[in-house]
Structure 1
Amino acid sequence: MTRPFLKMNGLGNDFIVIDARDQAFAPAPEQIRAWGDRTSGIGFDQLIAIEGSTEGDAFMRVWNTDGSTVETCGNALRCVAWYLNRDANDRTLKIDTLGGQTRARVLRADARTGTASVDMGKPGLDWRQIPLAEEMNTAKLELQVGPIDAPLYHTPVAVSMGNPHVVFFVDDIATVDVAATGSLIENHPLFPEGVNVEFAQVIDRQTIRMRVWERGAGITKACGTGACATLVAAVRRGLTDRAATIIMDGGPLHVAWAENDHIVMTGPIEVEFEGQL
């Protein structure tokens, strides 16, 4: 039996998107790993299933390339919004995830591209929301990488955007070994459910350059929830205004921390090709 899919991306963060509203879709981890292999399979950062929902317009389920299930994915939410509302008729969509319900609007859509805005809700700032293994100030975690007397990276900010993030601020992002440091922090015992790791260089009060190591996926070109977490972290440190452009390897994403405490991100989507699993 085959299943049709769309290969999509948001700023290079790429997905296989399956419409599973009419027929259950429950792939085994080894199937996901095979499909996600960029040498022998299709290749993607996350596998997305659009399922039915009793509370919203749809439920979005997310798997990483290692077969693990994760709570949500910001770039994928924009892709799912486009899929559900390709005529961009000013409709607000309620998309449920394991990380909670989000609201999305498609601002522009055509046959293979679009722009969408997603209200990601309020960030989680309490240590239990991340979660951390012990009580700690999430604005200044007692965590460092490297020698005790001369750490390479230290005192990051932890934020939950429905999934866990830790943000390190650096002077020069070009010097960061994202793979080595990201994989180390992802599995640190302080994060019992693992963590997504962002490295951020503040350019000015409206601009941040960011790179990301995603839990269960590795280095990706962009991470929507990571961009949101990075803005929250920068505002908590007094480094930027409450709205900024987050420039990732795949391109820029606009993120705003609204007065109602909700995080709103706006950015593009693209359809790469169609296929059959």
Structure 2
Amino acid sequence: MSKFAKMHGLGNDFVVIDGREGPVDISAPRARAIADRHTGIGCDQLILVGTSGKADVSMRIFNADGSEVEACGNATRCIPLFLGRDVTIETKAGLLDARLAGDGASVDMGAPRFEWDAIPLAYAMDTYSMPTSWEDLPAPAAVNVGNPHVIFFVDDLVSVETDRLGPLIEHDPLFPARINVNFAQILSDQHIRLIVWERGAGLTQACGTGACATAVAAIRQGLATGPVTVSLPGGDLEIDWRAGGHIQMTGPATFVFSGEADWERF
């Protein structure tokens, strides 16, 4: 039996498993079974906290479809709340520093990357304003913030068919590792409205890395100045970034309930 907690960041929900006292074997089928909202516990992502030789703890992230991903901003904010203290976290995206702040946490998400092969894209192109698009969408930007994102700045977010265009773009051959798809509307130079089609999870109430990538792209293009409030369906995140620096993300995290489970039964 292993301890777990059900948590969420602005409605982006997680099953957080404590694997520090013993190994927990998470495969893609097992992650899908745990994430299933009808026959499992239910979540957008499964988070496995473990030991680390480089940081206070390690964190592995599995989407609801079973795929393992590099980063999840909302989950990262949950870890200091889960552990009850400030922590450094080893992830596939690198080392992250997460500190308790108010009703959530503030996280140093590291520096964004803009090189085409760091996104990654299938071939070289400008990521500031990509010379391509889909249907009536404007030319997007691409940013890697530990995981890959493409960002479309639109005039009217309500009119965008996010549930149809999201999976179409996620699986486009231009993105060999698939892509998180961000649809954003600039409300002011310090306020952005955002809807995210998350790779492997679909439309989500909130996406921390999506908020980071979108704010960075907006600041880079002169559409916004930091700090930026990013409003997602589940609530607001504060994102700050200066060119050449690290991204700072601040927002709430919520503990829902705790339990124990025998993961071999999933």
TM-score (norm 1): 0.91
Q: What residue is the counterpart of 2:264 in the other structure?
A: none
Pick from 121, 124, 127: which aligns with 2:116? 127
Give the secondary structure class of the aligned counterpart of 1:124: coil
Stretches of structure 2 lacking an aligned partner (at least 5 in a row) = 262-266
* Residue 96 (str. 1) matches residue 90 (str. 2): yes
Deviation at 1:228, TM superposition (A): 0.2
Percent identity of the aligned residues?
48
Deviation at 1:235, TM superposition (A): 1.0
Structure 1 CA distance, aligned partners of 2:254 and 2:10? 8
CA contact (8 A) 2:143 2:213 kept: yes
| Structure 1 residue runs of 4 or more that deviate by more than 4 Å after TM superposition | none
In the TM superposition, what are the counterparts of 1:142-161 in structure 2 within 5 Å? Answer: 142-146=131-135, 152-161=136-145
CA change 1:260–1:132 in 2 (3 A) is closer
Give 2:91's aligned amino acid.
Answer: T
Deviation at 1:259, TM superposition (A): 6.3
Structure 1 CA distance, aligned partners of 2:185 and 2:138? 14
Give the secondary structure class of the aligned counterpart of 2:38: coil
Give 2:39's aligned amino acid.
Answer: S
Q: What residue is the counterpart of 2:47 in the other structure?
A: 48
* Residue 196 (str. 1) matches residue 195 (str. 2): no
Deviation at 1:260, TM superposition (A): 5.6
Q: What residue is the counterpart of 1:149 in the other structure?
A: none
Deviation at 1:241, TM superposition (A): 0.4
Structure 2 CA distance, aligned partners of 1:32 and 1:55? 25
In the TM superposition, what are the counterparts of 1:12-161 in structure 2 within 5 Å? Answer: 12-84=11-83, 86=84, 91=86, 93-108=87-102, 114-146=103-135, 152-161=136-145
RMSD: 1.3
Give the secondary structure class of the aligned counterpart of 2:116: coil
Stretches of structure 1 lacking an aligned partner (at least 5 in a row) = 109-113, 147-151
Structure 1 CA distance, aligned partners of 2:2 and 2:98? 26
TM-score (norm 2): 0.95
CA contact (8 A) 1:258 1:264 kept: no
